[in-house]
Structure 1
Amino acid sequence: MASKVELVVEVKSPAEKLWTALRDSTELFPKIFPEQYKSIEIVEGDGKSAGTVRLLKYAEGVPLVTFAKEKVEVADDEKKVVSYSVVDGELVSFYTNFKVTVQVTPSTKDGADGGAVVNWTMNFDKASEQVPDPDVIKETADKTFHDLDEYLLKN
């Protein structure tokens, strides 16, 4: 049964700066989130466009997963949207389909310019009814966007 989880995060960083950081996550995330990522490697493709496959190795202590292989399905810099499916790793045994889409838009809250809104959507099919909802992944995504925002505001 297909399930969908959505998350909306407002950040202070400009949309363009946040988008660039997300697109550079292969190099950036292991540096600024060593408690989460041991490494992120490009296995196939250029690292940015659709068809790219990345291998994410998680740090010790990260719940549920030691690694994940993800394939970029959509990469649209103009619309600031990226979508990827998990194709290998522990998540594949829990979820027969696991896809995440991230879109960054400039914030127009209170008519103020600056800041961005991240729309994060996770679509998944549980392998069985015993598999829990991936709440920890949503919580991690939320924390990552806030921590990335903090990092970008200082750098």
Structure 2
Amino acid sequence: MFEICGHSVPNFLPTLSIRILLQLPVSAQLKASGSSLHLILQQLLTSSTKNMGVKSFINELETKISPGRLFKALITESPEIVPKFNKPIKSIEIVEGHGFGVGCIFLTHFNEGLPFKYVKHRIDEIDTQNYVCKYTLIEGDVLGDKLEKICHELRLEASADGGCVLKSKAELHAKAGVELDDEEIKAGKEQALNVYKACEEYLAANPHVCA
């Protein structure tokens, strides 16, 4: 709690409340006196504004599949492998850049009869030695009229038994004025986990793939 003019103020305040506090005369006095409280309020405002319209989910999966094979199947060899275990996907192709390097854009087409036709992803960061990839969904009807983009992060951590622990995070960035539905977030989380499990099953049944 903070003390402002004898009143207790909680650490977290709604964005509007922080803006009002910063506009009060007492705020100017605090700033002029070099008080750290004014700086704290500004930081809270920046943080709360930055996080508005962004929701995320995290998945974790322990698997017997080695991180090298799984990374190939999900990332570097995905155009060949993913359509084999993820039935809604018709094809994946690189449309900008060479290989799965930073800045490359790959286009995913969905099979007919589905509500979505395509999506485009951009590789933002990739580390093939440590099995880390960050990529962003930048275009496609999946975004609809609610989302600007979806930022993904995939990490594969080797296990002592030769398998790995898959850790993924997705950040959904809503368009201005849009509030994302928690049920939709939950559905996206489950769908992503099902894709990882399908990949695991496919690689387990086909040990020569991505070996």
TM tier relative to shorter chain: 0.7 to 0.9
Contact 1:100 1:121 in 2 (8 A): yes
Contact 1:94 1:131 in 2 (8 A): no
- Greater helix fraction, Structure 1 or Structure 2: 2
How far apart in 2 are the matches of 1:120 and 1:143?
13
Does residue 30 in structure 1 map to residue 80 in structure 2? no
Q: TM-score, normalised by structure 2?
A: 0.65
Equivalence for 1:126: 174
Residues 36-70 of structure 1: CA distance to partner in whole angstroms, max 9, x if unpaired? 201111101123111110111112454x5321011
Does residue 41 in structure 1 map to residue 93 in structure 2? yes
Quote the RMSD (CA, aligned, Å).
1.8
Report the alpha carbon displacement of residue 82 of structure 1 after superposing the two structures with TM. Answer: 0.7
Equivalence for 1:19: 71
How far apart in 2 are the matches of 1:138 and 1:46?
30
Tell me the number of residue pairs that the alignment of Structure 1 and Structure 2 aligns. 149
How far apart in 2 are the matches of 1:147 and 1:88?
25
Q: 1:149 aligns with which of 167, 179, 200?
A: 200
SS of 2:142's partner is helix
Q: Which runs of 5+ in 1 are unaligned?
A: none
Identity rate of aligned residues, in percent? 27
Equivalence for 2:156: 104
Report the alpha carbon displacement of residue 98 of structure 1 after superposing the two structures with TM. Answer: 1.2
- Tell me the amino acid that sits aligned with residue 121 of structure 2: E
Q: Which runs of 5+ in 2 are unaligned?
A: 1-52, 207-211
Q: TM-score, normalised by structure 1?
A: 0.86
Equivalence for 1:3: 55
Structure number with bigger Rg = 2
SS of 1:138's partner is helix
Greater relative contact order (CA < 8 Å, ≥ 6 in sequence): 1
Equivalence for 2:18: none
